[in-house]
C-alpha cells in the first residue's frame, strides 16, 4: 500500500488496465501481470465472472466477484475458474464478497425473501469449504444497506434471487445497468449451497477488478471463456 500518498494526500497517476486481458497458463489458471508500481498502488484485487442474459444481447450478469487470488512475487495475479459455480435450488446465484479473513470469507447473495429484499449470507472457511448458508439480512429501504439482524430461512418461505447485469454493447440508448429477478420458489426441507456446472457452449466473461488506494475502480478487458461438453 502506498502509505506516503495517503498520508500526504498526494494523488497517484491514474492507472489503466483496460488493454490488459487475462490469459490462461499451462495449469489452466487465469493470470494477469502487474508491475511493482501498480501492485503498490492497489488496495483490493478481485476476479469477476459474467454470464450472458438469455434473450438480451450484450447484457451480462455479474455472477460474482472474489478476492480469492494468488499474488506471485513477480506480480502475476493467479486465479482459477473451472466451469463450476455456486447455486441454490438448481439456479446459479450471484456472490459478492463482503469480508475476508485468514480463516475464510463471507459472501452476500441478493434475493427477495417473503417479499423483502435481503442479502443471503454465505460463509466459506476450513469447516465449510463448499460454503454454508447462515441466514439472510434485510436491506434498509432508505439506504440499501444490510441490517445487523439475521433472519433464519425456513421451510415454506418464498424466495427469488436477484441478478445484477451490465450492458457491454455500443447502443447508447440502452440502460447501462439492470436488475433481473429469478423465478420465485418455495423453500423445502433442504436449503443449501450446491455447485453447478456452467452451461456448455455458452460464452462467459472473465476479468479482474481493482480498487486503488484512492478508491478509484478499474476493470481489465475480459476474456471469453467457453466450456464444451
Query: Which domains are present in the chain?
Result: 1-82+198-229 (2.60.40.10), 84-196 (no CATH)
Asked if residues 65 and 166 have their Cβ atoms less than 8 Å apart, the reply is no
Confidence of residue 8 (pLDDT cuts 50, 70, 90): very low
- Which regions of 93-214 does DSSP assign to beta strands (E)? 95-101, 104-113, 116-125, 128-138, 158-167, 177-181, 185-186, 194-197, 203-212
The pLDDT of residue 18 is 84
Q: Is residue 210 over pLDDT 80?
A: yes
Q: Is residue 127 over pLDDT 70?
A: yes
More confident residue, 16 or 119: 119
**pTM, rounded to two decimals:** 0.83
- Across residues 187-195, what is the average pLDDT? 94
The pLDDT of residue 192 is 94
Q: Is residue 5 over pLDDT 80?
A: no
- Across residues 38-63, what is the average pLDDT? 91
Bridge pairing between strands 59-66 and 95-101: parallel
| Percent residues over pLDDT 90 in the chain | 59
Asked if residues 79 and 47 have their Cβ atoms less than 8 Å apart, the reply is yes
Confidence of residue 11 (pLDDT cuts 50, 70, 90): low
Amino acid at each position: 500500500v502506498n502509505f506516503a500518498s495517503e498520508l500526504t494526500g498526494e494523488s497517484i497517476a491514474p492507472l489503466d488496465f483496460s488493454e490488459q486481458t487475462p490469459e490462461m497458463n499451462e495449469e489452466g489458471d487465469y493470470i494477469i501481470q502487474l508491475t511493482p508500481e501498480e501492485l503498490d498502488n492497489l488496495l483490493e484485487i478481485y476476479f469477476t465472472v459474467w454470464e450472458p442474459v438469455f434473450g438480451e444481447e450484450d447484457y451480462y450478469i455479474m455472477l460474482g466477484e472474489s478476492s480469492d487470488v494468488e499474488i506471485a512475487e513477480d506480480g502475476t495475479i493467479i486465479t482459477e475458474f473451472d466451469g463450476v459455480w455456486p447455486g441454490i435450488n438448481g439456479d446459479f446465484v450471484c456472490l459478492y464478497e463482503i469480508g475476508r479473513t485468514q480463516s475464510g470469507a463471507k459472501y452476500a447473495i441478493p434475493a427477495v425473501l417473503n417479499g423483502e429484499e435481503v442479502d443471503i449470507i454465505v460463509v466459506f472457511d476450513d469447516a465449510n469449504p463448499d460454503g454454508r448458508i447462515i441466514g439472510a439480512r434485510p436491506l434498509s429501504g432508505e439506504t440499501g444497506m444490510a441490517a445487523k439482524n439475521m433472519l433464519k430461512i425456513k421451510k415454506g418461505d418464498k424466495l427469488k434471487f436477484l441478478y445484477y447485469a451490465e450492458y457491454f454493447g455500443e447502443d447508447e440508448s440502452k440502460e447501462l445497468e439492470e436488475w433481473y429477478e429469478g423465478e420465485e420458489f418455495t423453500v423445502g426441507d433442504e436449503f443449501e449451497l450446491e455447485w453447478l456446472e456452467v452451461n456448455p457452449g455458452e460464452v462467459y466473461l472473465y476479468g479482474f477488478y481493482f480498487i486503488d488506494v484512492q478508491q478509484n475502480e478499474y476493470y481489465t478487458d475480459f476474456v471469453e471463456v467457453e466450456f464444451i461438453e
